Copies of this chain bind each other. A is one copy, B any other.
């Protein structure tokens, strides 16, 4: 007989309500929600008022509650809640990617010290079991990189712009459909995708990179001409949470990529999320599913709760065996575009394959040093846009020259 789990639930919004619902429909999961803590006393709810509490301590100091499920939308408050819960010896499930990306190492250590378990599958691509597969099944393989489409809002917008809509029209459509917030900054500028990337970097490569050290450029300034450019490359623009091992270094960033027709991610459309991993033995593996939504997200939370019953923990084996260093010191091949040719000079090209003016936009294709690229705050430069056009990254300028030389032969 499985041990009964007594849950204290923080948050009863989109995911919290979904979790309540899926648990009700899962009689074989021996778990009950004992208390729910929310913020706003005046809100009307679809459950009896006696089930709701308003002080974190109502759950945290309740000794009957062994498990905290944290599903609030405030990362700072969530940090206090999760830390206290772990300190008080409770297992914790969270879906809060911002909280986790910012404090993962501290929370892992705290959980270890307290001999409790901290799981957070829903924080990366919601329903897709990506963390679990990296931790368990692919532990015996060697993941060399991944291409994640980890933000449904931007993927929806990119699908629609590829079909001919302007960015503004696609964004308001996404908002009408509930895929985008009224302030879409976190999504369209790539912050949400970056939090997920930071979490994956830890599980795949054992790398602890703070969000502020990871570059993110979103899709806010995409124009039809950029869509056409990708099209001419037989590709589509996708916002990637990208990482790759290059020798003993790990590179990772969020940016638009031109994804070629032959890549499994090429067909990941609309609000879907996907992560394609490149494993040494298993080769490409694509995981595609819903990266948001009340019930799909809650399914991952439920799976974590169920995992407590079998004593499951993340192993973080990549931390044990890998000695990877995160770096922004590398060269990559991009297409840069700007409203006027002189703006292109904001970034030094180590090698220019070609440049051209198409309609009102100037384009330049070639190799740049990543540290030079990320000096530019693309999210706030409405006249500029770039996309990565190759997954061939070089640590040294001499290798760029070699690659360019080879291409010319």
Listed in ascending order, the chain A residues whose CB lies under 8 Å from chain B are 22, 25-26, 28-29, 127-129, 132-133, 136-141, 264, 266-267, 274, 279-290, 293, 295-296, 298-300, 302-303, 305-307, 317, 321
| Assembled-state Cα–Cα distance A229/B303 (Å) | 42
Smallest Cβ-Cβ distance to A321: which chain B residue: B28
B286 touches A289 (CB 8 A): yes
A281 touches B267 (CB 8 A): no
Give the shortest distance, in Å, between A296 (CB) and chain B (any CB).
5
Given contacts A140-B299, A140-B305, contact A284 B279 (CB under 8 A): no
Given contacts A288-B264, A289-B286, contact A281 B305 (CB under 8 A): no
Smallest Cβ-Cβ distance to A127: which chain B residue: B282
A133 touches B140 (CB 8 A): no
| Assembled-state Cα–Cα distance A307/B266 (Å) | 33
| Assembled-state Cα–Cα distance A127/B140 (Å) | 12
B299 touches A279 (CB 8 A): yes
Give every chain B residue within 8 A of A133 (Cβ-Cβ).
Answer: 129, 133, 137
Choose one: B136, B266, B287; the contact of A287 (CB below 8 Å): B287
| Assembled-state Cα–Cα distance A26/B139 (Å) | 10
A284 touches B295 (CB 8 A): no
| Assembled-state Cα–Cα distance A280/B296 (Å) | 9
Give every chain B residue within 8 A of A290 (Cβ-Cβ).
Answer: 282-284
B127 touches A303 (CB 8 A): no
Choose one: B274, B281, B293; the contact of A302 (CB below 8 Å): B281
